[in-house]
Structure 1
């Protein structure tokens, strides 16, 4: 995450751990809280598991596209709208709900979100027509709106900044891994039972996970393990909390570049997540269940690439903060080139190889851009900052990409639409290039904002 000011994130020494303490009592020694090294990983695991459920509920729809198209005689643009309405609601509601979570409590907010999207997914299972399905998907989007931003802010709060790109990439890769499970499992269930059971299975899993999360993760335990308490908390226990204005999220040019670069690089990745099953169904003549399983392998590459690219970024930028920006640019260039060539080729081994390479790097910039935003925003509004990034990801990528491809596919055919999508990486590269030039000034501005907030506290 670069080299933010020392007050922005400080490593802590963690003491020995006891499973009973991790999963049991909330009691904390207020004089000297014991920080146990396994609990942050328990938090990561449960938050990540809910993220998997989030995307399983969202992307199971892609696996049942052929069934809905046949049962309700839907057009490609109507199918795309069922996907994009979720991302659109995420884009519209992420920032206000992230801001609310910063004030109301991240744990309670995450639990409520998971309950809403799981119940909404049950509504999808009983939808009788396109209009009812669209309304249910609208509610799925409402529930999922701020989960990614608030979840990653919660996770980063208990880990040192030196591994934030790795954690951000791994956490955000949960979207791809959840999509893999949702698409592959949803396709199998739809073929052997019905598409309605595909939605029902995802909903039940989400409700089980949220119950476990609420039992194990609490605000008191998170406070005891917070790595950067010196930023969000006052120097004296009885002093008011230190907060910077929400406007600070939008007055730093470098963070604007991270928002734009992060959102634009998600455009093509979102298209691959949503349309790969239909691509194999139409271009390779595969049955829906087989197309879903093959597509799941490519979606898995997207998630794996996010994790690996996050690890690479943390290593290459250890002594050079701007290396995060350079890495993000490189990932975009590789995916632009690979996918741009792949969709011009005839179906075959060469095309599949290039799609696989492009898919691996298609969302590789996600971890670096999240780490950039975290490094450029104060802890007191970090969930809101990451929420703004999520808005950009959804408005510029996850909502826009699949919907535009659906509209273009009605006119040019699916393969014709896919040939155009990699060009959006050019815009992402431009935004990231300018962000790299402005990064050092952005860190200086954050230090000034933090000092001013501390002086007023």
Structure 2
């Protein structure tokens, strides 16, 4: 079946209404806040051994402290993103950053598990809609043919933030105590939260106008969120694949501490390099998808399937090996590929949903990522570790990638038909009659 470019395909293009230089400033600041988001979220992983010893916590309790953030993100991302689409994305992003930064500071002041749990709960509330609203802001100021690259690069900010959170957090914890690790992350977030609305202006990016015009024209863009089988599969496949990456990202410092006998700072730095490989994979695989698939978008889905299966093979083989350099190298390669589905999945969601609700569409993707991957991954890995040991738990986790590959394979069967069903869309900031 032929692909019709009128249906918002990857090679449809438009000229954004903002200068390219300003677009990159918007990207840089939005990306910086995403880094802060994940620094605040993942610094906890670096201090797992210290909290476990000081408060006598089980692995399941540690997994809960990590998973509660992802759970709140999953539950709240949709309603908060919908509000941001309607009442102002820039203002919403700044308020979110203030909340998660203050909550991270509260983590550093906690005296027991219960207080830490409440603070982590609030971190999750603050971070709930940032990723979805942030990527919607970024995509609104760049051409369509860069969607996979931008989505992969933007989501890589989560991995880079995790690198800084675990690496810098481990160093701060080792030399100044674990409380200062949280305080450092909080300060960085607060500075960016103040700067962001001073530079990024709602009037210049113009995204709320699209929604108003779409609604005044009698369209019902929210229907596109679940209107096709392909977009639902994009949500589910992305979430399942992130189960694997989240489990490795959260528990790898503890794995190094237990089986490589590394100190907190050393384990944090090595884990940061592994997560950095995952972040690089998001960027590189997104660029590869855009370069190879601009005139045949369904190839993106074929690449996503390949990324799932290759990561399963690499990580499954790695965790069967004894501790050593070869195991670490295979884990790094596995993470490089495991995160590669982020760009293709994000491009699928952007192509298969109405431009007026892209913030809410990416909220739905974030919901699936958190409820299927980022929340259950660390928690179930911790439960398995209590029963089988962390090494055996890691041997089982990569099998989830097979399920993700099957979901993407189903999406590939229906993608051409589904992209045509969406029909032509108005360009951001253009009259309703001007279509992509």
Q: Matches of residues 435-446 of structure 1 in structure 2 within 5 Å?
A: 435-446=411-422
Give, in whole Å, the separation in 2 of the partners of 1:45 and 1:241: 34
Of 78, 87, 90, the residue aligned with 1:104 is 87
Q: Please give the residue correspondences for 1:35-434 in structure 2 after superposition, counting only pairs within 5 Å.
A: 35-223=18-206, 234=213, 240=216, 243-434=219-410
Q: How far did residue 13 of structure 1 move? A: 4.9
Distance in structure 2 (CA, Å) of the matches to 1:99 and 1:4: 28
CA distance in 1, matches of 2:200, 2:59: 41
In 1: Cα distance, 2:216 partner to 2:264 partner: 57
User: Would the aligned equivalents of 1:232 and 1:242 in 2 still touch at CA under 8 Å?
Assistant: no
CA contact (8 A) 1:306 1:360 kept: yes
* TM-fit CA distance, 1:3: 6.5
| Whole-Å separation in 2 of the counterparts to 1:218 and 1:8 | 29
- CA 1:91/1:234 → structure 2, altered by over 3 Å: closer, same or farther? closer
CA contact (8 A) 1:264 1:396 kept: yes
SS in 1 for 2:216: coil
Answer whether contact 2:149 2:290 (CA < 8 A) is retained: yes
Alignment CA distance shift 1:97-1:351 (3 Å): same
SS at match of 1:5: helix
The CA deviation string for residues 304-334 of structure 1, in whole angstroms up to 9 with x for no partner, is 0000000000011012110110111111111
Partner Cα separation in structure 1 for residue 218 and residue 195 of structure 2: 32
Q: Secondary structure at the match of 1:365?
A: helix
Stretches of structure 1 that go unaligned for 5 or more consecutive residues are: 15-32
The equivalent of 1:17 in structure 2 is: none
Give the paired residue count. 427
TM normalised by structure 2 equals 0.93
Task: Flag the 1:150–1:243 CA change in 2: closer, same or farther, 3 A.
Answer: farther
State the TM-score, normalizing by the size of structure 1: 0.89
Does structure 1 retain, via aligned residues, the 8 Å contact 2:14–2:144? no
Q: Using the alignment, how far apart are the partners of 2:146 and 2:217 within structure 1?
A: 26
Shift of 1:58: 0.2
Structure 2's unaligned 5+ residue stretches are: 427-431
Q: Deviations over 1:78-131 (max 9, x none)?
A: 011000000000010111111111111111111111111011011101011000
Change (3 A) 1:4 1:105: farther
Matched residue, 2:429: none
Question: Shift of the alpha carbon at 1:356?
Answer: 1.3
Deviation at 1:218, TM superposition (A): 1.0
Cα pair 2:230 2:414 within 8 Å, conserved:
yes
Quick one: distance in 2 between partners of 1:7 and 1:418? 40
Contact 2:221–2:356 (CA under 8 A) maintained in structure 1: no
Supply the distance in 2 between the matched residues of 1:38 and 1:337 (Cα, whole angstroms): 42
Is the Cα contact below 8 Å between 1:339 and 1:358 reproduced in 2? yes
Mapped to 1, the partners of 2:280 and 2:181 lie a distance apart of 25
Could you tell me how far 1:381 is from its partner in structure 2?
Answer: 1.1
Give the C-alpha shift of residue 8 in structure 1.
7.8
Q: Is the 8 A contact 2:15 2:143 kept in 1?
A: no
Please give the alpha-carbon distance, in whole angstroms, between the structure 1 residues aligned to 2:425 and 2:347: 19
Q: Distance in 1 between matches of 2:205 and 2:218?
A: 18
How far apart are residue 380 of structure 1 and its match?
1.0
Shift of 1:273: 1.0
**8 Å CA contact 2:39, 2:165 repeated in 1:** yes
CA distance in 2, matches of 1:103, 1:249: 16
Structure 2 distance, partners of 1:124, 1:53, is: 15
Is residue 280–residue 336 contact of structure 2 (8 Å, CA) maintained in 1? yes
